[in-house]
């Protein structure tokens, strides 16, 4: 998948290696719209993990920046 300076892409999960490769922009992941051919980008378990990681990053980023600037 190709990304650019203004966007980042991820590949849709493949069940079989011979399945065609589909890419979506990262903001389309877990957006309650099925963008991958079989809606894999809206898998409940994967989205729960994705949201939890995003929340942790949002909360930890300011603290990490403070620590880094003090080093």
pLDDT in tens, 43-60: 999 999 999 998 898 888
In a domain, 13, yes or no: yes
Q: Which of 23, 24, 43 is nearest to 32 (CA)?
A: 43
In a domain, 2, yes or no: no
* Confidence (pLDDT) at 62: 84
Report if pTM > 0.85.
Answer: no
In a domain, 44, yes or no: yes
Domain that holds residue 13: 9-70
Domain count, the chain: 1
| Position 13 confidence tier, pLDDT thresholds 50, 70, 90 | confident
In a domain, 4, yes or no: no
* pLDDT of 41 over the 90 cut: yes
Residue partners of 64: CB distance under 8 A and separation at least 6: none
Two tokens, residue 43: 């898998």
In a domain, 1, yes or no: no
In a domain, 14, yes or no: yes
């Amino acid at each position: 998948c190709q990304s650019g300076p203004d966007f980042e892409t991820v590949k849709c999960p493949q069940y079989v290696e011979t399945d065609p490769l589909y890419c979506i922009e990262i903001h389309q992941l877990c957006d309650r719209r099925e963008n991958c051919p079989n809606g894999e980008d809206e898998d409940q378990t994967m989205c729960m993990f994705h949201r939890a990681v995003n929340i942790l990053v949002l909360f930890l980023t300011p603290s990490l920046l403070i620590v880094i600037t003090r080093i």
